[in-house]
Amino acid sequence: MHKIVFLLALLFTAFVSSQTKEELALEKKSNKLLYKARSNFEKGNFSEAEANYRKVIALDSKNTTANYNLGHVYYKNKKNSEAGKRFVQAAEVATTKEEKHKVYHNLGNTFMNDKNYKAAVEAYKNALRNNPTDEETRYNLALAKQMLEQQGDDGGGEDEKEEQKKDKQEDKQDKKEGDNQEENQDQNKGDEQEKEKDSQNKEDKEDSKEEKNDQGKPQQVEGQLSPQQIQSLLEAMNNQEKKVQDKINAEKQKGVKTKPEKDW
């Protein structure tokens, strides 16, 4: 009985060892082909790069790098449809947030090229879900939304316009929730301090009232902006918004131009 168990253990060990060797050999071969494909691409030999990336995918269809870089090859050659398909495949097998962010960013670019602004918006949103700090993706998202809105104004259906309106409301709600969350955190941290300051604030307000009566001039309540300060803030906000709008309009005059694709 012990001999049988021992033999089975040996067979299992041999099987696992054989499987591991095959996997290592496959990985080594794939990496070699990826290196060759990358070298072909950098030298401008796109046909060879395409062929080698296809060989990698034939060996391992879930190889994210091969699918993504093949899409990159098509994108550089202005084969937008083929590029989009490969980016979709890469998104399906991507495992890390960094990979998903790059794939969805470039997928959004292919949709922009096809003037499929609705799909581009969703792709850029998915990219930002995986990397909320990327300003290039955020810019592209803003541009895609603007183009989608103009597309709707030029003849989009009511359903399209309603969806755009809903999308804007969701963005505002997200921003509001984020602002509220920050306010709540600040409030929770400062509750005790506020209690200690209450009595002091009351005394300060009383002093302010007395000073107002003495001088005959209205005094600014602590924590409240004066009309001049409010006007200055509004002007600054309007100027900043105008700069962003001017930047987007300038890009539009040159043709719809998204921020560059993400390299792997």
Dump pLDDT digits (tens) for 3-19.
Answer: 554 445 545 454 445 55
For residue 264, the tally of other CB atoms under 10 A from its CB is 17
Q: Are 211 and 219 in contact (CB under 8 A)?
A: yes
* pLDDT higher than 90, residue 131: yes
CATH tag, 19-156: 1.25.40.10
64: which 2 tokens? 């994210």
Higher-confidence position of 165 and 218 = 165
* pLDDT higher than 70, residue 64: yes
Amino acid identity at 164: Q
| 34-48, 147-161, 183-197, 244-258, range with greatest mean pLDDT | 34-48
Share of the chain above pLDDT 90, in %: 36
pLDDT digits (tens, 9 = 90+) for 197-224: 565 666 555 555 555 554 544 454 455 6
69: which 2 tokens? 């870089």
Mean pLDDT of the chain: 75
Output the pTM of the full model: 0.55
What's the pLDDT at 53? 92
Q: Are 72 and 261 in contact (CB under 8 A)?
A: yes
Q: What are the CA-CA distances from residue 259 to residues 71, 88, 105, 115, 248 (Å)? A: 17, 19, 9, 15, 12
What's the pLDDT at 132? 94
What's the pLDDT at 208? 55
Listed in sequence order, the residues at least 6 apart from 106 whose beta carbon sits closer than 8 Å to its beta carbon are 68, 71, 72, 75, 83, 87, 261, 262
What's the pLDDT at 15? 47
What is the spatial distance between Cα 49 and Cα 70, in angstroms, rounded to a whole number?
Answer: 8
189: which 2 tokens? 């941290």
